[in-house]
Chains A and B, each alone.
Chain A
């Protein structure tokens, strides 16, 4: 099946007085791995549930492959969703879980058996077909949930915080596996996460959300290099955000934004910004210093050379910043 585009147009959704999604417009290209990224409560999961049919918008359209799916029940959408909790049914074996969607589609028994085997093979769990979900590890459970979803050959794949129930080490390998699988299947996939690293490392494009609004859409590099607003700048990576109070000129109604690794420590004399070192973190390849200037603590990353002396807390230093790294954003 060829990959499908997802278009969201003018969507507004409220639960009672709470306006959860505000004027959402979004086009997701066929075959893309697309992330909804934002802090908890920003509406990213609600947007995902809207596409799956578990939430109803008051206005707007959701188009799959150009077809409006607004009136369709969840069970008629052919939208595969992997739940954050995996939602594996404990009263069924792994194979029964995976077969469920095919049985609901009244497929012939031989076809079901073949597709279950194929889906389990794809996620590397063929040997576990007769186990119960409770007998599997978290990572294996997640792969069962994935197999169960792709077995029905959905038009699109929705992943709701798929890595959040795994331990830190698992996440790195699982996210790479997810990317590979998605590429192999060529499925348009939406990946909901609050973790910028997850989104940055495997997704083609990201929609950054805050309080029900999409603040910016772009590739990970675009968002990092050219954030459109202060929220995106501070949510993706660390950023120093200064108003006029730190010794540099900042136009009224704007803020100066720069990344810690773009600044460097300089002799205090003659520097535009200088102050005492208030904080120091050793991160391995770099040392992150906090420099207190007026009301602000500016973060500066200095490369660490072995044997070099670190700056002492309280030592007065200057902060240097190349002009081309200065970004002015509306406050």
Chain B
């Protein structure tokens, strides 16, 4: 698309905006990450360049073991997530199945509750002395080690993250033109063979996108393994090292570099796999094979499968709810008694967690929407040199694990002191900035979507009638983007409310801590679990309400635009 020449002399404002955003990204993303990398490659105490730290890492059994454990857990989680997601995706895209709507809503669950929140509840339901195993032992005389060691992490993560694969794979399956599969049927192929030779290869980009996302998320998760008492994984080791030895110890930074390299390598690897495989095959014929009806027996099996998976997915939620009302719950299938005391406690003494969360998430989401909207506009509507750098920079936040960003903030801003001598890194606003950077890629995507739906001719019409560029933005672009931006704001807000890994590094005192931190701290001790669970339930409610609202806002803006066109 060629924009009018007239844009050029009006771009001074745009250039200023771009520079401001660029400086922000440099200060709060590039500098912290660069600091981490720098420290990892320097001798302790400020010497020159060295690889000694990495040698130490490779020579320390604990780290090597942790590395392989993390790889193993991430890979097994992808495997199990695929085992859940594949049949569900195939079922809902290729058969007439009333349960499809149910399966679709599963997709939102991992966004509503991150795995660490339900970790303790899962231990109580599926652990060695949890509900299921106590019942199994009573009736059948055996137990299943769902939650033993690394298995527990895999089980928990797979239940939370399989929807990422499900959503991506289903979308890809739906985008296959029906003639692709009909042609195969016409030539004699059907059933599983048809799926293996035609449907799955064509949907592979979607599968790989989902699977690599799951792999990275699990690899970077700090809190879930720790709450399951698994310390020998890489991300938890980074946190433990800094938390117990201090920010001068290089090992935490080395691990952080390993985490970044692994995240980037996974994304690069998936991009390599997908190179030249952008099979957009949907044509006017409409996507997806005509859905086949299920026979009675197939239908029964399908429902059984969906209900089993649904039960698993809801287990942490149910467990959390029970725990939040429980007086004492251990060595018994259900709690001994029920009480409202935990809610009283978190809404009374500990209500600071909640107000902090609302404040931090609100600020972070507002910042994200402003930045996202501005970057989207600069990239899509101006020809400013270097504008794609902004896009690239904001997107790069995806590859930076939360714990790495947290360590980077600590190190980069600890030395920067306010006039009264307080280190910058200890201010609560740093938590907000870290959360905002973490969520920025998602807000940016929402802004792109909102702006892409606005035809350039609407803006040209305004300029043709005499509106200046900035007035066009104010009177045409922003009003039309409102729905999309609002949805972006609410989604950012909701997911920011349960962000933990960066927060874990940055919280200096309990009075500055948000919900997610409160849940993590309370869940550590048997005495605090009930209150932690109550906080967890409140977090889930906040997030669920926001998600519902965001969906509503997106629907409404879609409909409004539908009327305009």
Contact = CB atoms under 8 A, between A and B. Distances in A.
Contacts of B281: 90
A87 B187 contact: no
A19 B497 CA distance: 54
Contacts of A149: 186-187
Contact of B187 (A53, A85, A152): A152
Q: Which of A76, A89, A149 counts the most B-chain CB atoms under 10 A from its CB?
A: A89
B381 interface: no
A91 B279 contact: yes
Interface string A62-101: 0000000000011111011101110101110000000011
Interface in B168-208: 177, 179-180, 182-190, 193, 197-198, 201-202, 204
9 closest A-B pairs by beta carbon, nearest first, are A101-B187, A87-B179, A104-B188, A87-B183, A74-B185, A83-B179, A75-B190, A91-B201, A104-B189
B12 interface: no
A75 B201 contact: no
A89 B290 contact: no
B188 A75 contact: yes
26 contacts: A54-B185, A75-B185, A75-B189, A75-B190, A79-B186, A80-B186, A80-B187, A81-B182, A83-B179, A85-B179, A87-B182, A87-B183, A89-B183, A89-B198, A89-B201, A89-B202, A90-B277, A91-B201, A91-B202, A91-B277, A100-B187, A100-B189, A100-B197, A101-B188, A149-B186, A152-B187
Contacts of A20: none
A143 interface: no
Interface of A: 52-54, 73-77, 79-81, 83-85, 87, 89-91, 100-101, 104-105, 148-149, 152
Contacts of B279: 90-91
B421 interface: no
B4 interface: no
Given A90-B281, A152-B188, 20 more contacts: A52-B182, A54-B182, A54-B290, A74-B185, A75-B185, A85-B283, A85-B285, A87-B177, A87-B179, A89-B183, A89-B198, A90-B277, A101-B187, A101-B189, A104-B189, A105-B188, A148-B187, A149-B186, A149-B187, A152-B187
Contacts of B201: 89, 91
Given A84-B179, A85-B285, A89-B180, A104 B187 contact: yes
Nearest to B283: A85
Nearest to A160: B179
A52 B182 CA distance: 10
A79 B187 CA distance: 8
Contacts of A152: 187-188
Nearest to A79: B186
B187 A90 contact: no
A100 B184 contact: yes
B501 to A, nearest CB: 37
A239 B198 CA distance: 48
A80 B189 CA distance: 13
Contacts of B193: 104
A73 B194 CA distance: 14
Contacts of B180: 87, 89
Q: Which of B185, B187, B283 counts the most A-chain CB atoms under 10 A from its CB?
A: B187
B208 to A, nearest CB: 13
A259 B354 CA distance: 83
A293 B213 CA distance: 73
A104 B187 CA distance: 7
B189 A83 contact: no
Given A90-B279, A91-B202, A83 B188 contact: no
B177 A75 contact: no
A84 B285 contact: yes
Nearest to A152: B187
A74 B180 CA distance: 14
A243 B285 CA distance: 41
B339 to A, nearest CB: 55
Contacts of A54: 182, 185, 290
B389 to A, nearest CB: 31
Contacts of B197: 100
B177 A85 contact: yes
A75 B186 contact: yes
A276 B247 CA distance: 97
Contacts of A87: 177, 179-180, 182-183
A22 B202 CA distance: 37
Contacts of A100: 184, 187, 189, 197
A30 B180 CA distance: 29
